[in-house]
Amino acid sequence: MFVASSAYGDVNSEETIHGVFERVAREFPDRIAVISANGRVTYSELLAESRRISSVLIGRGVVPGDVVPVVARRSRDLPAVLLGILMAGAAYGILDVRWPATRIASFVRDMRAPVVLADTTGASVLDEAGIDRVDLAGLRRDAHDAWTRAEPLPDVDPSATATVFWTSGSTGAPKAVLSPHRATTRLFTPPGFMDWGDTPVMINAAAVAWDAFTLELWGMLLVGGTVLVHEDDLLLPPAIRSYIADSGATHLFLTPSLYDVIAGGDIGCLAGLRALLLGGDKPSPSNCRALLAAYPDIELYNGYGPVESCVFATVHRIVGADTVAATGVPAGRPVPGTELHVLRDGVPAPPGETGEVAIGGTGLAAGYLDAPDLTAAAFRDVTVDGRVRRVYLTGDQGRLDAAGVLHVAGRTDAQIKVAGHRIEPAEIEAAALALGSRRSVVIAPPGRDGGRRIVLFAEKPETVGTETEMCGRLRAILPSYMVPAAVHFVSDMPLLENTKIDKRRLSARFGYPA
């Protein structure tokens, strides 16, 4: 049977995130680890503060196996807090302060942690939700005042959960993905999926709850690079240009949709980068071609992978030939510690034939928090070459070419992608039902920019006056990237013979492309 395996050789991912960081910090104590508008932190300073924070957290009852919620924005101080949590033997779950308070409160309660951490903005959100918390400023103060000696830290297995990522759920409720230490360290310990070069500096602009934040944070701190924190919500071309010119930024991650905007408006802001990484959706060949033509020295990469495999499962360095190929830009070869299978009827398909993409290896999540049935459905044992392997069934359709390069095309289910986020329409439909709509359905037609937008058709709830009001009510339940761009009240839902709502007829009725 044909199995695509990593092109990078053996990888030692059996280390913890904080263990690798400590080794790097002792090797480069005076190197700058984090830069923000509020100052700089060296590796030795970051290590010392992280150790102090871990001591305080242990004193507050944090033990191995806990998941500590952190409601905060990107900042210079956040990396020390996350390292402190990991050193205490716990995992962290960062929650975006821009999410509705009810959503954050629900996630916090699910984690059942002995302590909840929050920055100033996060504290306001938690106050609104009626949840006690420890302010990050106070935590750091306690760590500075109380810690006097290096207390022994708990031993942590690399298979233990390090990070909890929240992802949209097909059942109508979000899922908490339990990502282990080794899922991250497999990416950023030698040989790695790319050569970062000497003293890389990466702009940290991804949403904190997204696994791209892992790429930007640990991708630097585990290789001796510098995290350049962007504290505003949006990353715009003037800021990129300034980070490159004034702070020496060398690496940047963008979703293809954001890159398309930049490529079409101000591609010159990328001049001076060493590498640009794209991920979260399929890149536009023409815009990739534009960058390669304008700046041939910039390395351009396409990464593919669901959050259940942490950041990337495959990576491909894009070259000119990829931008004119009929099949588009490939998803690439497996990264270290990763196996890739294309399954049809539960067995590997021959090269060139299409099936469901399945991912195996050390990058896999342990499953979903408190959801054994969902975990069992998504993570399966398959037999390949006589060996039983645990894989995650992605729901993506793809094929492996003769060289073992993955090409992704389409889905086996209703999941959609908007601005790099994987979204289950069922979660949006469930939110509409919770507001009193008896029936609802989501479509995702292409917008003018070529990206997808969310449209909700719903029977009008008795408690909602207008479609605009419905959007506002949904905004109080869902994160902004899941709020429909348009809502249409429908009194007579067209049905198929199986009594399911006929999305095609609804789309045509309101003038949306099928």
365 shares its domain with 489? no
Q: Are residues 85 and 147 in the same domain?
A: yes
Are 252 and 270 a contacting pair, CB within 8 Å? yes
Q: Is residue 320 part of a domain?
A: no
Residues 6+ apart with CB under 8 A from 242: none
Identify whether the C-beta of residue 15 lies closer than 8 Å to the C-beta of residue 218.
Answer: no
Specify whether 458 is located in the same domain as 386.
no
Strand duo 175-180 + 201-204: pairing: unpaired
What residues pair up with 421 in beta bridges, in sequence order? 418
Give the model's pLDDT for residue 147. 57
Domain end marker among 106, 133, 156: 156
pLDDT per position as a tens digit, 76-119 = 999 999 999 999 999 999 999 999 898 899 999 999 989 999 99
d(CA 429, CA 261): 29
Residue 1 pLDDT grade (very low, low, confident, very high; cuts 50, 70, 90): very low
Mean pLDDT of the 130-156 span: 81
Burial status of residue 152 (CB atoms within 10 A of its CB: 0-12, 13-18, 19 or more): exposed
In a shared domain, residues 435 and 395: no
Q: How many angstroms separate the CA atoms of 393 and 360, rounded?
A: 9
Is the domain of 370 the same as that of 473? no
Give pLDDT, residue 2.
43
Q: Interior CA angle at 207 toward 159 and 435, to 5°?
A: 100
Residues 318-360 pLDDT 10s = 999 998 887 889 999 999 999 999 998 888 888 888 889 999 9
| Co-location of 389 and 435 in the same domain | no
Clarify whether residues 484 and 363 are in a common domain.
no
| Rounded distance between C-alpha atoms, residue 33 and residue 76, angstroms | 10
Residue 432 and residue 375 share a domain: no
Q: Which amino acid is present at 213?
A: F
Tell me: pLDDT of 281 over 70: yes
Whether the per-residue pLDDT at 491 is higher than 70: the answer is yes
Residue 304 lies in a domain: no
> How much is the average pLDDT of 405-419?
78
Q: What is the pTM of this model?
A: 0.84
Specify if 285 maps to a domain.
Answer: no
Residues 449 and 395 in one domain: no
8-state DSSP, 260: H
The residue from 156, 175, 203 where one domain ends is: 156
Q: Does 46 fall in a domain?
A: yes
End residue of a domain, out of 411, 437, 453: 411
What's the CATH code of the domain at 26?
3.40.50.980
Question: Can you tell me the mean pLDDT for 448-472?
Answer: 86
Structural domain contains residue 316: no
- Compute the C-alpha angle 448/450/454, nearest 5°: 80
Q: In whole angstroms, what is the distance from residue 379 CA to residue 359 CA?
A: 9
Instruction: Say which residues have a Cβ less than 8 Å from residue 92's Cβ, sequence separation at least 6.
Output: 67, 68, 69, 70, 81, 82, 85, 86, 162, 163, 164
Same domain? 435 vs 373: no
Q: Is a pLDDT exceeding 50 seen at residue 8?
A: no
Pairing of strands 416-418, 421-423: antiparallel
Number of domains in the chain: 3
pLDDT score of 150: 57
236 in any annotated domain = no
- Predicted local confidence at residue 11, as pLDDT: 46
Question: Strand (E) positions, 290-386?
Answer: 299-304, 314-317, 333-334, 338-344, 347-348, 355-361, 367-368, 379-384
- Domain limits at 440? 424-509
pLDDT at 156 over 60: yes
| Predicted pLDDT at 129 | 85
Query: How many whole angstroms from its chain centre is CA 179?
Result: 11
Within a domain: 80: yes
Average predicted confidence (pLDDT) for the chain? 89
Residue 26 predicted with pLDDT over 90: yes
CA gap 273, 291 in Å, rounded: 11
Residue whose token pair is 């049905």: 495
CATH number of the domain that 364 lies in?
Answer: 2.30.38.10
Same domain flag for 31 and 114: yes
Same structural domain for residues 343 and 466? no
